Structures are given as C-alpha cells and as structure tokens.
Amino acid sequence: MSVCAFCVGVGVLSSFVFRTGFALFVCPPSHTLLDLLQIGSVLVTRTHTPAYCFFFSFPECPERLVAIREKLLEWELLERCVPVTAREITEEEVLLAHSQEYLELMKSTETMSEAELRSLSDTYDSVYLHPNSYRCACLAAGSVLQLVEKVLTGELRNGLALVRPPGHHAQRNKMDGYCMFNNVGIAAQYARQKLGADRVLIVDWDVHHGQGTQYLFEDSPSVLYFSVHRYEEGNFWPHLPESNSDAVGRGRGEGYNINVPWNQAGMRDADYLSAFLHILLPVAFEFQPQLVLVAAGFDSVIGDPKGEMAASPACFAHLTHLLMSLAGGKLVLSLEGGYNLQSLAEGTCMALKALLGDPCPLLEPPHVPCSSGLRSVSQALAVHGKYWKSLRRISADLPQEGEGDAGAALPASSSPPVMETLPGPATEPARPLPRSCTGLVYDEKMTQHYNMWDSQHPELPQRVSRIFQRHGELRLTERCCRLPARLASEEELQMCHSPAYVEAVKSTATMKPRDLHRQGNQYNSIYICASSYECARLAAGSAFSAVEAVLSGKVQNAVAIVRPPGHHAESDTACGFCFFNSVSLAARYAQRLAGRPMRVLILDWDVHHGNGTQQVFYRDPNVLYISLHRHDDGNFFPGSGAADEVGSGAGEGFTVNVAWTGGLDPPMGDPEYLAAFRTVVMPIAHEFAPDVVLVSAGFDAADGHPPPLGGYKVSAKCFGYMTRQLMTVAGGALVLALEGGHDLTAICDASEVCVSALLGNELEPLPEETLQQKPNANAVRSLEKIIQVQSQYWTSVRRFAPTVGYSFLEAQRRDTEEVETVTALASLSVMTEKRQQDEPMEEEELMTQ
C-alpha cells in the first residue's frame, strides 16, 4: 500500500505507524445503506433504509455520497487509505453538544408516521425527516468520533469522514439546515472531555455559516471557531447578524469566534487563500491547537447551485495542505454540504489527495483577491486585531483594493454551463498515483570503487551500503518500489562529457595499480581503481532509471543511492571524487525521454559547489541550477559558485548560487538553510515552474562533518523539511541522487528522513527554538547579496529582501504574500446559473408543499 507526504496509507517512521483514515457513509440509489467503507481493507456493510426525503426532492440526498464514492474509485484513492470500524454515537456522547430533551425528540422520530415527521420537519428551517434519519445521524456522528480518537491516539495521522446528514447547523435544542446532530461540535467536545485535548481548532469552509457550531462554543476559550462563508450583509441563508465578522464570542470565549463573511457571490481561490493566509494561519499558530477539525462543505466549489462561488476543486487541496501544518498534522475532515454532484466529488477527492500527501496541483492566476474579498478580510482583521497579536501588523500589508481588480469575483449573471467551467485537472480523471509512490535504486556493485592506497579516504564504499542498510532496518526499503540499476552507455555519457574524456576514464579499467595512481594524480581530488569506470557508469545509469520511473508515472518520486558522486565532474575532467556527472546526465536523459528541452530544476545542497553541473548548463535556459554551498569568498573547495556567477548567453539568470560566506564563525545550520529556502530557493523554483526536480543530495552540510569536509550544522530534520518543500514543485516529480557526505551516521540519518518525507511519513517537527532563531549575520549578508543579484532575473525574490533576517516563525507571521511562494494562486473561470435573491437552503415553495 502506498504512502504519500505528511500522512498516508501505511507509513512507517521508526517504530510508529502513521495513516490516513477514511470513513465513507453511503446511501446508494438502491436504498441500501453502506454504513462505513474504509479503504484498503474489508468492506463493512449494514443494510437498512437510507435517510432520504419522501416528501419531495431535496439536494441533500443519498446520491451525494454515491457520487463521491464513484470518483474515489475512478481516481484510485480508496485503496490508499486504511479502514476504521463504524459505530453509532452513544446517547452520553450526543449530550456533549445537545440537550436530553432534544435527544429524546430525535429518537422518537424512528416510530413517527409520515404525517408526524412532516409536521415536526415544518417546525424547523430547511429540514426533512425519515424514520431512519436518527439512525443515520448517530452513525455519522459516531464515525467522526472514531476518526478523532484514532488520530489523537496516534493510530491514524489524519482522517476524512464522508458522512450524512451534515451537522454544523444543528443547535443544542433544534435541527436546522439538514442537520440533526452537530458532528464536528460533538467531536470537539469529545476530544476535550474524553481524550485530553486542551485546544481544538474548528475550520468551517462550507458556503453557509455554521451557526450551530458557533453557538456551541461562543463562550469557550478552548475551541477556536473559524468560518469563511457567504453572507451578503445577511441576505444569504441563514440570514443571521451573528454570521458577520463582529460576532467574536462572548465572556471567556471573546475573540475565539472568527467569521470571514463574503458579501458577494463568485469568490475565487485567491479570496479563500487570502482568508487562510492573512487570518486563519497567523491566529492558528498563535492558538497552537492540538487537533484541527474541518466542517468540510463543498458547496463553495464552482458549479454548486446554492453556493454560487467560484473556488476550484484544487483550491481545497491547498486549504487542506495548509491546515496539515497545524497540531502536528492531527487533522480530521467531516463532510458537510455540497449539492452539485460533480463539484462535490472532485472537491472531496482533492482534499483527500492532500491528506494522503499528494502534491497540490498548480493553480492559475490572477494572484490577488477581489476588492470585495479584501474588504471582508480587512474587516475581520480590524475586529480581531485586539485579540490576536499575530494580526496586528497584517492589515498594512494587505493588497490595496485597486490591486484586486484583476481578481474580481465573477458576476452571478455570467455563468457558463458547469461542465464547461470546471478546471481541467478536475474534469479529467487525475493520473492515479502509483501504488509505490517512491522508487529506490541501489546496486551493491557500486561499493567496488575504493581507494587502494588509503582505506580511510572519506569517500568510502560503506557510504552507500550503510545508507541502504539503515533503510532496510527501518523497513523503508520494502515500502519503496525497487528500480533496476543499469550501466549508462558510452553514448549516453557523451550527453554531458566529451568522447575523449569518456575514453580516458574507460581505459582505467585495464590499468595496473601504479598507472591508476598516476592517472588519479592528474585530476583534482581523485582516486581510481580498476572498478571505478563501471561503478561510475552504474551510478549514472541508476540515476537514469530513477528519472525514467518518475517521468513514466511508475513512481511519484525516487531516490538513487549511488556512488561515486558526480556534481564536480566537468565535461572533460574528473574532480572532487567525481567521474561522470550523474545528475547532469539525468537532466539530459529526462529531456531525451520527453523529446523536447523540458524544464529541469537541479537543486544542489551538497556543502561543496557543483562546479561540473554549473559548467554543463551555464548557457542553458531550460535547466535551472540552484546551489547552496560553503563558498567563503572562493576559499572553500572547489572555489567556484560565487553569487554573481549567474549563467551566460541564453542561460543568464538560470544559475543561482547561494554562496555562504564567513567561514564557521558561526557555522551555518537550520535557521540559515530555512531562510535560504524561504527567500531564494522556493520562490525561484515556483517561478521557474519546472517539469521535474533533480536534487544533488550531498549530506556533507549535515552536523557531524569536520571543518575540512563541511563543518556546518544542518540537521537531518532540516533535510527532511527541504525535501518536503521540493515535493510541492513540478507536481511532485522529484528525484534525489546521493552526492557527498562522509560521516556515516550523519548521512544515514539525513537520508532516512529524506526518504521518509518522500514516502509520506510524518516528520518530526523542527524544534521551537530553531524556528524562533534568526539566521546569523554572515548568512543574512550572503542572502542579501544573492537577492540583489537575482532580483534582476526573478521577480519573486524581490519582496523578500526586507525579511531575510527574520526567523522562520517571524517570517511566517509577517509574510502575508506567502501565496506566491507556496503555490500559484488561482481564480476560476466561471460561475453557475443566476442565483435567486434571499434563497433559503431549500426552495420556499417546496417547504410549503
């Protein structure tokens, strides 16, 4: 079973298992109730009549879950999750959020006649009842509790409960808006009172305000409720003044209720992301929840006849991904509304793919929210600045309303047909991710390259064997798709190396030891044995195998545990332990497979500059080379890689050198590398928009290497973080190929975390003190120089110059324009049919029939 980023099917990290739980509570058209479907295991079914309306047709119908299930099967997502056993909620648990009198009334509906059910329904707003409604509501609420318990106890990493009836409108003493029991509200109380969670965040992105949830927690400082919903100055259902931004809670709960009310239809992805990035995330990081619950309604997806919004299905992958950074990833989504079956199914699948760790799909411009959206966000900021320190500096950084014109909301009257307007990635079945999302290539023959004269040479054969051994001990290897190693042909080697040089290296295979020693001395930092040529061909060919598996769709990403390394090898000379430039050759091989000059990003985080890689692509605009390395003004090997080395000719601007200066006083570590990724690497990577990302994954910047070999203090956790960041680029098409790194423990630790990230295991978070630490002064000067040089080529880095010296957390709070570097914001191209003014959740004429 495959695993993906952040949490997944069956993920093993050390001795812990992290999974994505999935509860599907389905009412098929046959009127057989599938009470819980859990992916990847036995299908548990119970047969009874579904909760549906026998008075007239309501949009909250069993077919909603049927449509979701069909889309999950089409996209092959079911098998990637794990099962959870269904259970009904107990009466004691219902009383966590509802009164005894209300519970007894709902129980009595099981034996009511049709006339009695109709009469009771008419006492509520937008409600229908069936004899099985109570049973279905108990199963829906109980399924959510099952997932919450398993997530909080660590058995599951996160979960998605596809349940009905929905819950967020249900109040303590009454039904409302299709809802009987407040599923998420009960779950929050259950987490607090039964499972020991002190702080719970509830995020409600349903297009309708969850007034029932707000009422439950408006006086509680332990539950932070955030809702972004359509309001239209109270003219949209539920037509309540307390749905506005000035409803902030009361008593001890004042400030813990945040409403972002949209005052027009047609709000786009940029508007939703703006609300998350400017308000929700800053407050959430300050609140520090221990669990995040999402009232996940998809009636804000484009095409929904009630919501009339223009958020793309893909937007909900991004929103889910952002929430996964909270509460250590303890996140449970519970289905609420969504009434266009296609929009509902695709939005749900996108959110689940994010939970499984799939890369977020790229969204298209415009890059700014509309003027109305800006006003809503600004109003919420003005109201809540008094309660949350993190919001007090943000309002000044919001785009001005005039800047939002390009992102104007779509008018409700200009709606093309839904099938014509849903985004391409969602209307077509997404390419299903392979069952093994991570490929791994390794061949023990590569250990046959060794130094005959110095057994303690740092480029030891044990480097690869010990890494492979570690992966096996942690059972990472068995969860990868093993890829075949192969020899690169002489013709393939000539994609980057001259025929004469290839022939010169080939000739060493038949040399005597004395001649090998003499030949090695002709190069800089090279030893040669009779097996070196074959091992170098094997390293390059293994990189080819990894790239081919990723580009063909056999795997999502891959790691090549190879040696000898390659990034110092130039077109006609060996250098720095390197013979053939494996990653450069892999880039050319990728372009050969594509049959075009595809865009390739090579990121080199080896502590030594990859002089060979830079030379190969110095004039090439289709390969972006970014290197983070110790430079010390040219005084550290190999001496190349200054910040002003930017490429030439057509390739000018496509070489980016993060050239650290200042020696080891102090050494660079996690804060410096985090700053480099935030201000330089990721902005440029997203702006370049590559088709594939290759990493020259040297681990000699890792803590544990002596000064001559690096002397830096980058942690294994930081390498995992960098890997995770790169997985958001190029649709996750990512290949890591080993370069340097000579402390065996350090390189095993770092490689383990990187492969865990590729597999989707939960990564141990970076320490709080690291996230609060500012980069050192030498690093700040280095980054300022790099941004100064590169800003003439890459617009995305210009705005980071003032924040280079910020700590990770400071930048996170300050960087209200994060959308440009984390994701390409999008708006959608369309809206649905013309809305009706003052439309209740169901047609009034139907309610009176």
Q: Report cis status (omega within 30 of 0) of the bond before 432.
A: no
Give the integer Cα–Cα distance in Å for 40 and 33. Answer: 20
Active-site hit among 367, 449, 568, 608 = 568
**Helix, strand, or coil here: 264?**
coil
CB atoms within 10 A of CB 477: 17
Mark 170-186 as b/e (b = at least 16 C-beta within 10 Å): bbeebbbbbbbbbbbbb
Q: Contacts for 706-713 with beta carbons within 8 Å, 24 or more apart?
A: 707/664, 709/458, 709/607, 709/742, 709/743, 710/607, 710/630, 711/630, 711/664, 711/667, 712/607, 712/630, 712/664, 712/667, 712/668, 712/669, 713/667, 713/668, 713/669, 713/670
Active-site hit among 98, 130, 168, 169 = 169
- Name the DSSP class of 643: T
Q: Which residues are 603's β-sheet partners? A: 626, 695
Residue with tokens 């902030």: 248
Nearest of 656, 822, 582 to residue 724 by alpha carbon: 822
Residues 735/558, Cβ–Cβ less than 8 Å: yes
Q: What is the largest CA-CA distance in the chain?
A: 101
Catalytic, 169? Answer: yes
CA-angle at 14, arms to 9 and 15, nearest 5°: 80
Q: Is 140 left (phi over 0), alpha (psi -120 to 50) or beta?
A: alpha
**Helix, strand, or coil here: 16?**
strand
**Helix, strand, or coil here: 389?**
helix
Catalytic, 208? Answer: no
Provide the pairing of β-strand 331-335 with 158-162: parallel
Q: Is 691 left (phi over 0), alpha (psi -120 to 50) or beta?
A: alpha
Tokens of residue 358, six digits = 């799939």
3-state DSSP helix/strand/coil % of the chain, to nearest 5: 40, 15, 45
Residues 831/412, Cβ–Cβ less than 8 Å: yes
Give the integer Cα–Cα distance in Å for 236 and 238. Answer: 6
**Helix, strand, or coil here: 604?**
strand
Give the integer Cα–Cα distance in Å for 687 and 624. Answer: 11
Residue 538 host element (H or E):
helix 532-552
Rg (CA), the chain: 28
Q: Is 303 left (phi over 0), alpha (psi -120 to 50) or beta?
A: left
Give the integer Cα–Cα distance in Å for 734 and 732. Answer: 6
CB atoms within 10 A of CB 396: 8
CA-angle at 590, arms to 357 and 688, nearest 5°: 65
Mark 135-153 as b/e (b = at least 16 C-beta within 10 Å): bbbbbbbbbbbbbbbbbbe
Give the integer Cα–Cα distance in Å for 634 and 61. Answer: 68
Q: Is 734 left (phi over 0), alpha (psi -120 to 50) or beta?
A: beta
Contacts of 611 (CB under 8 A, 6+ apart): 567, 568, 570, 575, 576, 638, 640, 641
Q: Report cis status (omega within 30 of 0) of the bond before 366.
A: yes
- Name the DSSP class of 527: -
Residues 534/514, Cβ–Cβ less than 8 Å: no
Among all residues, which ones are annotated catalytic?
169, 568
